[in-house]
Amino acid sequence: MKWLNLLLIGGGVVLYAEAIKPIPERLPVDRDKASLGKMLFADPILSKDGTVSCMTCHNLADGGDDGLRYSFGIRGQQGHINAPTVYNAVFNFRQFWDGRAKDLKEQAIGPIVNPVEMGNDMPTVVERLQKNPTYRRKFNDIYSDGVTPDNIADAIATYEKTLITPNSPFDRYLKGDSNAISDQAKEGYRLFKVKGCIICHNGMNVGGNLYNKFGIYKDANSSSLGRYAITKRESDKYVFKVPSLRNVALTAPYMHDGRIRTLREAVKFMSQYQLGRYITEEEISAIEAFLRSLTGVPNANRQQGESP
């Protein structure tokens, strides 16, 4: 297994863990809750005017985001932050770019009540779902207290836990298949480590497990203040959750404000602004090849016979 390597010290052999670990094949979830959450995820009934669903900003057929710099909510309102992918969000240590939600369940309510996104309120959502015979029956079958804000969030979060993408070429490489990625991608991974990218982008989600300042070596001119909006601490200005790089080749545009359109430009930008290092065009190509090897298999966690 590639994520356990051998280090020779003084004639002895010591095992050390690889900085990136493969995604598991599946996670244990309640199938009934996940099925209900899947319905809610795709249903615009959650929005005030019935025009926007979770799927609107998180297209599962195209990287788990919407491919836009800023998403649009009810009445065509435009947001001010780039929608992150929902794939593998379960592995993030916090949710949202500013980390204001501690988990998927807490995150699920945010877009519903955000006036720019779904623009609704939970009493209205609960009333709508209770009046819908299918939803009322499903909630009553699963939850002893039926339709509640907590149960709505729980069902959506349970479904989102199934949205993992294991078996990327790089995962297969970590598991021992040396031919799963190209020599260029292998060189890209080496550079990814020696250049310092691995400091922030590590773990199972290749990121998503810490905060960092946006624009360390150069002022990135961010209009969003990041964590500062939550904590009001001066040290948290322009600090954001480090995004996962899983499926990054599918989730352009990049950064919290969607300012960068291509993966190649993103690599170059990060080397200058976050690492303060010069990087050659050849090195960028190699790192890009490595990043493309992180594209996994969507919906691999669904149960046998269940449609995507």
**pLDDT above 90 (res 308):** no
Tokens (6 digits) for 63: 């990287």
pLDDT tens-place string over residues 115-155: 999 999 999 999 999 999 999 999 999 999 999 999 999 99
Catalytic residues: 117
**pLDDT above 60 (res 3):** no
For residue 8, the surrounding DSSP H or E stretch is: strand 4-9
Global pTM value: 0.91
The 3-state DSSP class for residue 266 equals helix
* Contact status, residue 82 vs residue 69, Cβ threshold 8 Å: yes
pLDDT tens-place string over residues 69-108: 999 999 999 999 999 999 999 999 999 999 999 999 999 9
Distances (CA, A) of 121 to 5, 99, 139, 186: 51, 22, 19, 49
| CA dist., res. 127 & res. 136, Å (int) | 10
Q: Which of 165, 197, 158 is nearest to 275 (CA)?
A: 197
Distances (CA, A) of 168 to 114, 161, 291, 301: 34, 18, 11, 14
